[in-house]
Amino acid sequence: MFHSYPKARTIIQIRSTSLFHSIYCIQSAPYHTKKRSRTIHNEKPIRQTSKPRKSIPFVADLKNVHDPDQALSLFLDYYQMGFKHGYPSYSSLIYRLARSRKFEQIKPLLDFIRDNGIRCRETLFIALIQHYGKRGLIEESIELFHQMPRFNCDRTLQSLNTLLNVLIDNDRFSVANDLFSRCSELGFRPNSVSFNIIIKGWLEKGELEQACQVFDEMLDSEVLPTVVTYNSLIGFLCKKGDVEKAMRLLNDMSRKGNRPNSVTYALVMEGLCSLGKYEAAKKMMFDMEYRGCKARIVNFGVLMSDLGKRRRFEEAKSLLLEMKKKGLKPDVVIYNILIRYLCKEGRSEEAYKILVEMQIKGCQPNAASYRMLVDGLCQTGEFERGLGILHAMLMARHIPRLETFCCFIIGLCQSGKIDDALFVLEEMEKRNIRFPGEAWDSLVSDTFCLDKAAADALLNNLVSVDC
């Protein structure tokens, strides 16, 4: 098992004492951390008053500009007026362009920054690596990481960890693992975050034993495992249905002084529910407090999801009262669980009431709330009520799926609500969403049966949208 940490002479001596073995065996020796002695000074702390930052005109004006092209124009306008742009101006503009995915406009700015020796902060490159990663621009992320020193910017372990995470999330594990193995060569000493990312990578590949070996290497390097480390392993075991082994690891974790959090228990509860052991999962949630961990929304969410899958909606709703007793306020995720499963069962009327209730309770619906309810109303043919929800959704700046738009148009036309169908088409046109060509024939032929003039108007709108 695990031995004392971090000053142990040999943390893991042989393979039989590794983490992989501890998952299958119950007995284990705890490891401990030494508490650092704290020196108490009688002197009163000196209050440091920071000077207020001076407002930079360009940065202030940029906050009011939402279009990325206008942002770039504003930057050039200031330059032509003789304003000397510094790092705050460049970084603010680059952040804006990255969020808008205007990467082709970022490269010239970076080249200018590099060639003119403008000193940059690491946070800029971390943000860019993350944005590149979200768009799958992996080579650009790697190149930017290696180019950072040329921008007069020191790389820290945070940059490396960001790149490792981007590589893992984009299924480039071999590159991430190679980079991790060269940490010393690059001048970095991996921390718990570094090890956790590589463990996550092995688990995503389904390689539990390899992940356990990295865990053991973590201890060899005198890096203390965190709750995230354990949660990754426990979550993997529960998804594989090995809840018994996950429970062993949970107990082993507690014995070694690494306190489980609400997510740890939620993972095990989810594993129990997947095996049909709802009552055991519920008992675990109520036993959490005795183990020093208060139940959180995520734990109630696991139980509600399981009840929703099994159509036990009244029990699921009763958990809302249990949450209130615990001093927890249901969030949009909790309400969405109810909306999702009610709509799935064709009970859109009840789902609509949940949407109203959450708003009364001060919880604003998100895009998923509206989408699930609008789709549910379409499936039950309640297009008039659905149209009201669609309007509220659009007012909240959320956009339905293309399939939802099409379902509305077809359903409204078949119900003789041609004006409403035209309204939906106009909303699609505003958002540059095209009605699928293959649906035209059946839609127009159905409408011709009702009203030739309406069909002509509908056809003209469809053509204008497609153009």
pLDDT digits 0-9 by tens, 244-259? 999 999 988 888 888 9
The SS3 of residue 66 is coil
Q: Which of 85, 82, 53 is nearest to 72 (CA)?
A: 85
What is the reported pLDDT for 14?
Answer: 28
What is the reported pLDDT for 16?
Answer: 38
DSSP characters for 183-218? Answer: HHHHT----HHHHHHHHHHHHHTT-HHHHHHHHHHH
Q: How far apart are CA 31 and CA 219, in angstroms?
A: 10
Q: Which of 357, 351, 388, 397 is nearest to 372 (CA)?
A: 351
Start-to-end C-alpha separation, the chain: 68
Structural domains of the chain, with CATH: 67-188 (1.25.40.10), 337-400 (no CATH), 402-467 (no CATH)
Q: How far apart are CA 224 and CA 226, in angstroms?
A: 6
Q: Which of 409, 369, 413, 411 is nearest to 392 (CA)?
A: 369
What is the reported pLDDT for 442?
Answer: 58
Q: How far apart are CA 326 and CA 319, in angstroms?
A: 10
* Residues 6 or more apart in contact with residue 156 via CB below 8 angstroms: 122
What is the reported pLDDT for 459?
Answer: 54
Q: Which of 467, 442, 466 is nearest to 455 (CA)?
A: 442
What is the reported pLDDT for 1?
Answer: 37
Low-confidence ranges of the chain (pLDDT < 70): 1-54, 437-467
What is the reported pLDDT for 254?
Answer: 84
What is the reported pLDDT for 414?
Answer: 77
What is the reported pLDDT for 289?
Answer: 86
Q: Which of 223, 253, 257, 255 is nearest to 235 (CA)?
A: 253
Q: How far apart are CA 353 and CA 359, in angstroms?
A: 10
What is the reported pLDDT for 429?
Answer: 82
CB atoms within 10 A of CB 418: 18
What is the reported pLDDT for 453?
Answer: 55
What is the reported pLDDT for 457?
Answer: 57
